[in-house]
Structure 1
Amino acid sequence: MIVKLSHEIDNYPEPDDAGTIRVTTRIFGEDDYSTFTTLSLAKDFMDDENDECKSKQDLNYFLLEAGVNEDVLNNAILELIVFVDEVTCPVSNEYSPGCALKVWLDIVPEYLDDDDDDSRVQEAVQVSFDDTSSIQFRPASKHVVKSLTRKVYNKKIKKEKKRKMISLDECRICLQEFSNGGVVVTLSCGHEFDEECIVKWFETSHVCPLCRFELPCQDEV
């Protein structure tokens, strides 16, 4: 099993969400995936001595009930804590106390990790259709897609903590770490994706897969 992590930060959250961490865990299978979301204060989640943190307990129970191997379970939670520590550490340029942090913890079987990108894109598009009924999805303008900001990805040095190597950069569509020297597309909302994945995505949908930022549709230009 492969553990994949990504995050999103809300710098202007609602008062009730200030200082919280929302962890959404997805366990992928051959035909579908199970999902679980838990919410707590970030400081409680990161407190190593706070073994009674309900958010961590609930996550642990979910993984156990889903039949996740104990070694995979322990590794997933450790990587999650290290990842959150990296994002929320005092030297972080993007996080500050009072922000709301969303983290996605994906557990993917190795045999699915090499699946064809097309099937992953279609699966992700279908999830967006299921989760967001208020938006009518249409192909994005081809001209706008071609004009999106592109850059060659230079791999950052991975940081080491607690003997775990964690990478913070991956495409949220294919769930693969960005390839060194590969082309990454940056949307106006700030989210980044592999060029091939996001171009295929916009053939079906005109919204950002993460925040629902909308691009002009093909029939509007």
Structure 2
Amino acid sequence: MKHRLSHEIDNYPEPDDVGIIRVTARLFGQDDNSTFTVLSLARDFIANDECKSKEDLNYFLLEAGINEDVISNAILELIVYVDEVTCPASIEYSPGCALKVRLDLIPDYLDDDDDTIQEAAQVSFDENNSIWFRPASKLIVKSLTRKIYNKKIKKEKKKMVSLEECRICLQDFNNGGMVVTLSCGHEFDDECIVKWFETSHVCPLCRLELPCQDEL
């Protein structure tokens, strides 16, 4: 039994979905290509051994006749995958996002590179795609206003504290580093916002839209 993982991030979820992970497991080779979805806080899914969503997913896979070792390995890889996507160093995920992860389980006798399987696996995932997952125009991104950051600091309990940070990586702007200012006034590290606009054409904070790559 082979398994593969993929994900999408909703940058503008409903308030109740902030910090939520939605895991959809799909079993191929079943008559109806069975699917099962669980919801949880991302941090609970990673760190909580008694997380109800993990228990429900484990039970569903057992009921489907999946080998216990396969289930254990798949869920462990799923936890590691979610941890990597949501870690503080991630430039595509922030605490205000919601995460959708797909776990595909494919019997060894099926070719997981088959176009039919690829298409079937993607259909349900694409149904909830947000219009925000469209790359911004590379030309527009290159023309964004950039400046060298001159760090503004204040003294607080004998420590020097930065007044500004990039809201994508949540790290203080580096003195002398390059900062991008969008027309809405929001500022981000050059590297972070360029990477962001490779998959989304809106400001991470206010939904200001840039022209999409496929519109020019």
Aligned length: 135
Corresponding residue of 2:46 = 46
1:81 maps to which of 66, 72, 79: 79
Structure 2: stretches of 5+ with no match in the other structure: 129-137, 139-196, 201-213
2:26/2:103 contact within 8 Å kept: yes
Report the RMSD for the aligned CA atoms in angstroms: 3.0
1:104 maps to which of 92, 97, 102: 102
1:9/1:102 contact within 8 Å kept: yes
Q: Whole-Å Cα distance in 1 between the matches of residues 118 and 112 of structure 2?
A: 13
Alignment of 1:110-129 (within 5 A): 110-114=108-112, 116-117=114-115, 119-120=116-117, 123=120, 127=123
Report the AA paired with residue 6 of structure 1.
S
TM-score (norm 2): 0.55
Q: Radius of gyration: which is bigger?
A: 2
TM-score (norm 1): 0.53
Q: Whole-Å Cα distance in 2 between the matches of residues 31 and 8 of structure 1?
A: 27
Give the direction of change, closer, same or farther, for the CA distance of 1:123–1:39 in structure 2 (3 Å limit). Answer: closer
Q: Whole-Å Cα distance in 2 between the matches of residues 99 and 114 of structure 1?
A: 30
C-alpha deviation, 1:30, in angstroms:
5.8
Q: Which moved more, 1:25-34 or 1:66-75?
A: 25-34
Corresponding residue of 1:55 = 53
For the residue of structure 1 that corresponds to 2:37, the secondary structure is strand
Give the direction of change, closer, same or farther, for the CA distance of 1:13–1:116 in structure 2 (3 Å limit). Answer: closer
Q: Once the two structures are aligned, what percentage of the paired residues are identical?
A: 71
Structure 1: stretches of 5+ with no match in the other structure: 133-148, 150-187, 192-214, 217-221
Corresponding residue of 2:11 = 11
C-alpha deviation, 1:106, in angstroms:
0.6
Corresponding residue of 1:66 = 64
C-alpha deviation, 1:116, in angstroms:
4.0
Give the direction of change, closer, same or farther, for the CA distance of 1:123–1:54 in structure 2 (3 Å limit). Answer: closer
2:18/2:97 contact within 8 Å kept: yes
Give the direction of change, closer, same or farther, for the CA distance of 1:122–1:58 in structure 2 (3 Å limit). Answer: closer
Alignment of 1:170-189 (within 5 A): none
Q: Whole-Å Cα distance in 2 between the matches of residues 122 and 73 of structure 1?
A: 24
1:30/1:112 contact within 8 Å kept: no
Corresponding residue of 1:28 = 28
1:19/1:98 contact within 8 Å kept: yes
